[in-house]
Homo-oligomer: A and B are copies of this chain.
Amino acid sequence: MIVVIKSGTPAREIERISQELNSWNVTPEKSAGRHQVVIGLVGDTAALNPQQIQQLSPFIEQVLRVNQPFKRAALEFRNGEPSTVFVGTSSGVIAFGQNCPIVQVAGPCSVENEEMIIQTAQRVKAAGAKFLRGGAYKPRTSPYAFQGHGESALNLLAAAREATGLGIVTEVMDTADLEKVAQVADIIQIGARNMQNFSLLKQVGAQDKPVLLKRGMSATIEDWLMAAEYILAAGNPNVILCERGIRTFDRQYTRNTLDLAAIPVLQTLTHLPIMIDPSHGTGRAEYVSAMSRAAIAAGADSLMIEVHPNPAQALSDGPQSLTLKQYEQLMQEMAVIGKSVGRWSETPISTATQNTIHLQELALRVS
């Protein structure tokens, strides 16, 4: 952080400001030019608030942050190398990252009954998905809307895993449910509305399962990385970032504005893998294909797509869900782009693939 002193400030006042800054656990270091004095703050400035420093003296022209406020999430934390998040599933370990094939996640907004979730799991697996998504606890705008089947839906997800070997991604909304969710989920999802539910972030950071962190609907890139930092700082290094559309002034034809530029921006800021959710990102099934293809071309590491055997009867998010057939079609469209950028794996999940590693291998790799 740099404190710019107004020209003409008495030396005594500069001295006083420096002493005040000393008491804030940083080392002030003065750089004096002919007309200008600046005080650089050396040390851990992540928790300092520039505006508060400004209040120390009317002779402070401006306080400017030089470093980013996130550390463990920063690309520099891994010396510029992207990290790979390995997720153990019953079929092997799946890797998310820039050097891995794109990982496909698919499934319904909410788990409605056994038949639909098993059927969906089988079909999306056959189409090439590695993970099944499905909500047990559902954040809904209206208290009168379907709120998810809760614990019983978790059991259905477990059954779908058993039937197919797919990994399971499901959302936790409350610290009180975390243990139950973690027993079933291979990846625990934090939804957009809970991106700054800091109690929840701390707790998913203090357990072992990888975490999928959705971007809040008005979260800046920096807010989002700071939320990831909560999880990382609590001890869990396995965070996947998921862009799912931000809220803007135009909501007539799409539910959100999918910010695909987040992909190259994040790649310059963080080592964490990036997933795109074009279903929430647009809110309309007919726009999912174009945005899925675009996401792959832009460099996404993973896609999460809502699929439902009968969207017109879905208990939630029907309008943005693809039918099973549409999903199969979409996979072919995505494959065209995925192959052209060299990140497509056709091998089914049951055999060893570039991004499916058995746990023994992983032990070797990690050690």
Contact = CB atoms under 8 A, between A and B. Distances in A.
Interface stretch (A78-86, A121-129, A179-187, A264-272): A264-272
A4 interface: yes
Given A38-B38, A61-B66, A297-B337, A249 B261 contact: no
Q: Is the interface of A mostly helix, strand, loop or mixed?
A: mixed
Given A173-B199, A253-B265, A291-B298, 12 more contacts: A31-B33, A33-B40, A47-B142, A47-B145, A55-B318, A137-B199, A142-B226, A143-B233, A254-B265, A260-B294, A261-B291, A297-B337
Interface string A263-288: 11101110000000000011110110
Contact of A2 (B38, B46, B341): B38
Contacts of A340: 336-337, 339-340
Nearest to A199: B174
A358 interface: no
Given A54-B319, A196-B193, A258-B261, A290 B298 contact: yes
Nearest to A53: B312
A67 B193 CA distance: 25
Contacts of A284: 51
A237 interface: no
Interface stretch (A91-99, A155-163, A215-223): A215-223
A295 interface: yes
A173 B144 contact: no
A271 to B, nearest CB: 16
B144 A47 contact: yes
Which of A44, A141, A299 lies at the interface centre, i.e. has the most chain B CB atoms within 10 A of its CB? A141
Instruction: Please tell me how many copies of the chain the complex holds.
Output: 4
B222 A252 contact: yes
Interface string A115-151: 0000000000000000000000101111111110000
27 contacts: A29-B33, A36-B42, A44-B144, A46-B142, A51-B283, A54-B319, A137-B199, A174-B175, A174-B200, A193-B198, A197-B197, A220-B252, A221-B252, A246-B248, A246-B249, A253-B268, A257-B261, A260-B294, A264-B282, A264-B289, A265-B287, A293-B297, A293-B298, A294-B298, A297-B297, A339-B340, A340-B340
A69 B142 contact: yes
Q: How large is the interface on A (under 10, 10 to 19, 20 to 34, 35 or more residues)?
A: 35 or more
B31 A319 contact: no
By Cβ-Cβ distance, the 8 closest A-B pairs, closest first, are A218-B218, A297-B297, A51-B319, A31-B33, A174-B199, A31-B31, A340-B340, A294-B294
B318 A291 contact: no
A62 to B, nearest CB: 5
B199 A193 contact: no
A223 B143 CA distance: 11
B198 A140 contact: yes
Interface in A45-91: 46-47, 49, 51-52, 54-56, 61-62, 64, 66, 69
B297 A269 contact: no
Nearest to A72: B143
